[in-house]
C-alpha cells in the first residue's frame, strides 16, 4: 500500500516536470531553453494578434481572449524560471533571460491594454518592439540548444 502511494506520488512528480529549486547546470540549461521557447511562442503570438488586429483581420473578442492566455502563460513560465537559484556558472544566463522575460511581460501587458482600449495607433510600434524582443529570445534559444 505504501509502495503504491509513493509510486503514485513519484509518477505525479515526474509528470509535472518539477524542477528542484537548486538545479545543476544541465537541468538549468534545459529549463532555460524551455522557458525561452515558451516566451518566444507567446511573444510572437501577441505580435501576430496585434498585427492582424491592425490589418483588420482579427476579431477583438478573440484577440482579448488569446491575450489573456498568452499573458497568463508567460507569467507562469517567468515565475517558474525566476524562482530558481541558478548554479553560479550560469549567473549571466539567468540575469539575461530574466531581463528578457520581464520585458516580454511588460510588452504583453501593454498590448493587452492597447487592445482593450482599441488604441490601434499604438499597435505598429508594439509589434516592432515585440518582434525585436522575440529575435533576442530566438538568439538566446539558439545559443542554448
Partner 1 sequence: MKKLFAVALGILTAIGGFVDIGDLVTNATVGSRFGLSLAWVVVLGVVGIAVFAEMSGRVVAVSGRPTFDIVRERLGPRVGLVNLFGSMAVTLLTYTAEIGGIALALELGTSVWSYFWIPFTAAAVWVVLWRAKFNLLENAFGLLGLALLVFGVALWQLGPDWGQLWHTASTAAKPSPEPWPTYWYYAVALFGAAMTPYEVFFFSSGGIEEKWSPASIPTMRSNVLIGFPLGGTLSISIAACAAVVLLPAGIEVESLGQVALPVAVALGQLGLAVAILGFFAATFGAACATGLSVGYSIAQYLGWTWGKSVRPRDAARFHAVVLLSTLLAALVLLTTIDPILVTEFSVVFSAIALPLTYLPILIVANDPSYMGRHKNGALANTLGSIYLVIVLAASLAAIPLMIWTKVGTT
Q: Which residues of the chain form contacts with partner 1 (CB under 8 A)? A: 11, 14-17, 34, 37-38, 40-41, 44-45, 48-49, 52, 55-62, 64-66, 68-70, 73, 134, 138, 141, 145
- Nearer to partner 1 by Cβ, of 43 and 93: the residue is 43
- Nearer to partner 1 by Cβ, of 83 and 92: the residue is 83
Quick count: other Cβ atoms within 10 Å of Cβ 34? 17
Q: Are 86 and 93 in contact (CB under 8 A)?
A: yes
- Nearer to partner 1 by Cβ, of 32 and 88: the residue is 32
Q: Tell me the closest approach of the beta carbon of residue 136 to partner 1, in angstroms.
A: 12
Cell numbers 532555460: residue: 32
The alpha carbon of 24 is separated from its chain's Cα centroid by a whole number of angstroms, namely: 22
SS3 annotation, 25-77: HHHHHHHHHHHHHHHHHHHHHHHHHHHHHHCCCCCHHHHHHHHHHHHHHHHHH
Q: Tell me the closest approach of the beta carbon of residue 47 to partner 1, in angstroms.
A: 8
Q: Tell me the closest approach of the beta carbon of residue 61 to partner 1, in angstroms.
A: 4
Q: Tell me the closest approach of the beta carbon of residue 17 to partner 1, in angstroms.
A: 4
- Nearer to partner 1 by Cβ, of 60 and 91: the residue is 60
| Cell numbers placing 119 | 488604441
Amino acid at each position: 500500500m505504501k509502495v503504491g502511494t509513493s509510486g503514485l506520488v513519484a509518477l505525479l512528480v515526474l509528470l509535472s516536470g518539477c524542477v528542484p529549486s537548486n538545479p545543476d547546470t544541465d537541468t538549468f540549461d534545459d529549463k532555460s531553453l524551455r522557458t525561452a521557447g515558451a516566451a518566444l511562442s507567446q511573444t510572437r503570438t501577441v505580435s501576430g494578434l496585434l498585427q492582424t488586429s491592425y490589418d483588420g483581420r482579427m476579431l477583438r473578442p478573440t484577440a482579448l481572449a488569446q491575450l489573456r492566455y498568452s499573458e497568463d502563460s508567460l507569467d507562469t513560465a517567468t515565475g517558474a524560471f525566476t524562482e530558481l537559484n541558478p548554479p553560479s556558472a550560469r549567473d549571466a544566463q539567468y540575469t539575461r533571460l530574466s531581463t528578457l522575460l520581464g520585458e516580454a511581460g511588460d510588452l504583453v501587458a501593454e498590448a493587452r491594454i492597447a487592445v482593450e482600449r482599441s488604441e490601434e495607433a499604438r499597435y505598429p510600434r508594439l509589434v516592432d518592439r515585440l518582434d525585436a524582443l522575440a529575435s533576442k529570445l530566438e538568439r538566446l534559444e539558439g545559443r542554448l540548444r
